[in-house]
Amino acid sequence: MEQKELRKKLLAEPKNGYDRLTKQDAEQMEAYCKDYMRFLDASKTERECVVSAIKLAEAKGFAAFDEQKHYHSGDKIYYNDREKGIILAVIGSESLASGAVIAGAHTDAPRLDLKPTPLYEDGEFAQFKTHYYGGIRKYQWLNVPLCLHGTIVRKDGTKLFLTIGDKPEDPQFIINDLLPHLGREQGKKPLNEAIIAENLNLLVGGRPLAEDDGKNRFKLEVLRLLNEQYGITEDDFISAELQAVPAMNAREIGVDRSFIAAYGQDDRVCAYAELAALLSLDTPRRTAVCIFSDKEEIGSEGVTGMQSACFDRFMGKLCKQQGVSLEDCYAHSFCLSADVTAAFDPNFAEVFDTHSCARCNHGIGLVKYTGAAGKSGASDASAEVVAMVRKAFDEKGVLWQIGEMGKADAGGGGTIAKFMARRNIDTIDAGVPVLGMHSPYETTAKLDGYMTYLGVRALFAL
Ligand code: MN
Ligand code: MN
């Protein structure tokens, strides 16, 4: 055999996706990414992701799940989990005894939550105290324009949906850092200790209540304005979920526009991909399910997290209609835990094993195992499952790669994979490589987002 042929036959030489992308895919990718960026701008909290998903799904003929109704193949339904998570499904032509194909992503993202009694004043500033959510690098959230998104539930149960900072005429918020001139001591501290959590306070006002000589005039002025505009009082913050999230909208990055930067792409880049894949289905052979789960960033805990029985109840109801046990359905199901992974960054090459890392523009990144320090906490997909997935991708022309998060012992992380595997569902992690993950403005490559959409579609056809 010629040396050249031998090389081609034996070596797995990774190639940049643009050297393999078809012209048709390149065009469709651009259209897909425009829609994706629109989704991001409208969906800066998990609750807003649910609203966006319902809007898109209803336009494609999906209807809210009705427990009294009997569903047939081709029916399209969604289950709204407390307005913070959503499960969507297209009923397959085969019974749930042959299992479902599930794609699960999470739509919560690192952010700064307001504390239950957030408003105080200090040094003639009114400020909101925050408690950060998820794994943030605190210094990254200073001097970034922030907006406020969330829900306030009044004592009588009525709800107020609040967003301040998105419209061009809206005010925004900021946490100021120290000036370099006075930052000598701060600059000597390790990055992770220089900014302390209790100093992540949002500047919300600096004008005192007029013609008043009592205490708390700055705080009162802010409350006066909030009451005037939203009818709320200080007590209403107690039963509220208000999040300070980056105000910047999604933008194309680079002269060649091949990247997208935006807040919350972990994991909305995968959530949007699986939603778009589900919405493109007619009647799949096996029931296709798409999950937007909440609370992944804090361990998939809580009633809306993937550890909750909400998913089991929904699947159980569908199974019961078909006379199939939930256990049998799960045993024959497959789950793609669609979550982002770290993209190789030449500026931080030291934390990556360059033989086994995911690269931007190489397609959807399969991750056989996550975890930290000896795969601890990983689901670790079986070789059989990996083989099935790579075959499905290759058959449908999906550009993909395999990689792990970073060097062994450099750190690590987890996903919802282990909670799906715990249900006796074969599960594998795969998703888009991200630069600057968990920062207020994360970067992904368009090609990888689009390939994740094609990848999920290929798996829904299994
Ligand atoms: Mn994630
Ligand atoms: Mn994350």
Residues 301 and 361 in one domain: yes
At 267-302, the pLDDT tens digits run: 999 999 999 999 999 999 999 999 999 999 999 999
Domain check: are 207 and 313 in the same one? no
- The whole-chain average pLDDT of the chain stands at 96
**Which of 281, 311, 417, 324 lies closest to 99, judged by CA?**
324
Picking from 200, 219, 246, the residue at the C-terminal end of a domain is 246
441 & 376 share domain: yes
Q: Are residues 362 and 304 in the same domain?
A: yes
Structure tokens at 457: 């579609």
User: Same structural domain for residues 91 and 130?
Assistant: no
Kindly report, residue by residue over 289-341, the tens digit of the pLDDT. 999 999 999 999 999 999 999 999 999 999 999 999 999 999 999 999 999 99
Q: How many angstroms separate the alpha carbon of residue 45 from the centre of ligand 1?
A: 14
**Residue 457 carries which side chain, given as an amino acid letter?**
R
Domain range for 386 is: 3-109+263-460
- Same domain? For 33 and 67 the reply is yes
Rounded to the nearest angstrom, the distance between the alpha carbon of 147 and the centre of ligand 1 is: 22
257 part of a folded domain: no
Q: How far is the CA of 284 from the centre of ligand 2 (A)?
A: 30
* Cα(49) to centroid(ligand 1), Å: 15
C-alpha 414 – ligand 2 centre gap (Å): 8
The ligand that comes nearest to the alpha carbon of residue 431 is 1
Tell me, yes or no, whether 254 lies in a domain.
no
- Answer whether residue 409 shows pLDDT above 90: no
The reported pLDDT for the residue numbered 341 is: 96
Domain contains 367:
yes
Identify whether 28 is part of a domain.
Answer: yes
For residues 95 and 126, membership in a common domain is answered with: no
Distance 175 CA to ligand 2 centre (A): 22
Q: Examine the domain organization and report whether 236 and 269 are in the same domain.
A: no
CATH of residue 282's domain is 3.40.630.10
Residue 258 located in a structural domain:
no
- Shared domain for 9 and 24, answered yes or no, is yes
- Structure tokens of 331? 């045993």
Residues measured by CB to lie within 5 Å of ligand 1, the ion: 266-267, 339
Within 8 A by CB and 6+ apart from 86, the residues are 49, 50, 53, 54, 78, 79, 80, 291, 292
Residue 252 lies in a domain: no
Domain shared by 319 and 442, yes or no: yes
Entry pTM: 0.97
CATH number, domain of 166, equals 2.30.250.10
Residue 369 has pLDDT above 80, yes or no: yes
Q: Among the bound ligands, name the one nearest to the CA of residue 293.
A: 1
Position 240 in a domain: yes
Closest CA to 273 of 89, 35, 436: 35
How many domains would you assign to the chain? 2
Under a CB-based contact definition with an 8 Å cutoff, are residues 206 and 176 in contact? no
Residues 169 and 238 in one domain: yes
pLDDT of 1 over the 80 cut: no
Quote the ligand 2 centre to 109 CA distance (angstroms). Answer: 7
228 and 321 assigned to the same domain = no
CA 55 to ligand 1 center in whole angstroms: 23
> Is the per-residue pLDDT at 450 higher than 80?
yes
Q: Residue 418 C-alpha to ligand 1 middle, in angstroms?
A: 13
Ligand nearest to the CA of 297: 2
Does residue 255 lie within any of the structural domains?
A: no
